[in-house]
Structure 1
Amino acid sequence: MTVQINQQEQAQAFITRIEAQLDDMVSEADADTLFTSGYLRGHIMLAAGYLEMEEKLNIDQLIENTNQSLQQAIEAGELDDKDSVLVNRLWTDLQQLKA
């Protein structure tokens, strides 16, 4: 149980770092950055919410579920090629915050 709580706390800290990074980006953002950060934030928070409800929130699962959510959205045609590249690039950068 302690391991699960520690993993949840680490995941929450990771989410907090992501949110801070996204918030910092918005202050001087162009339209593409505003869209990309907001779109990605939605996918991350949705994945986190489901994992919290299932009591399975940890960093690796959050990354995996967000990846799956983004892939489904791309396959469903929610993003054009340019936006897909921007979202994936930002998500790759944000994953570095887990360390």
Structure 2
Amino acid sequence: MMNNINNLEQLCDYFDGLIEHDDADLLFASSYVRGFILIAANDASDEEQPLTAELADRVSAELHAARSELTPQDKVIVDNFWQQIQPCFC
């Protein structure tokens, strides 16, 4: 599924599909990361916006800057999730 994601709308659809999973850590990480992606992508205001390396860099920087608001365990959960979806960004 992740291989077919190449724009913001498709990524949001992927996140929406995660709601069906009964995994609190996955739901937490996906909603947390989604917020940072949407904030970083806000400049374009385009659902068809491609998932670029520049966008991934902005998200990574924002996630890093916000690390202090997470517990050590939550940092690991968020970092692992972010690493899993980063390949969608070219």
Q: Same fold (TM over 0.5)?
A: yes
Q: Secondary structure at the match of 1:20?
A: helix
More helix by share: 1
| Aligned with 2:41 (options 35, 45, 48) | 48
Q: In the TM superposition, what are the counterparts of 1:66-77 in structure 2 within 5 Å?
A: 66-74=59-67, 77=68
Q: Percent identity?
A: 28
Over 4 Å off, 4+ runs: none
Given residue 60 of structure 1, which amino acid in structure 2 is its aligned partner?
Answer: A
Q: Which runs of 5+ in 1 are unaligned?
A: 1-12
Cα contact 2:26–2:81 (8 A) shared by 1: no
2:75 pairs with 1:94: no
2:28 aligned partner:
35
Scaled by the length of structure 2, the TM-score of the pair is 0.76
Given residue 80 of structure 1, which amino acid in structure 2 is its aligned partner?
Answer: T
User: For this pair of structures, how many residues does the alignment match?
Assistant: 81
RMSD: 2.0
2:3 aligned partner:
none
2:71 aligned partner:
80
Q: Which runs of 5+ in 2 are unaligned?
A: 1-5
Scaled by the length of structure 1, the TM-score of the pair is 0.70
Cα contact 2:36–2:62 (8 A) shared by 1: yes
Shift of 1:18: 2.0
Given residue 14 of structure 1, which amino acid in structure 2 is its aligned partner?
Answer: N
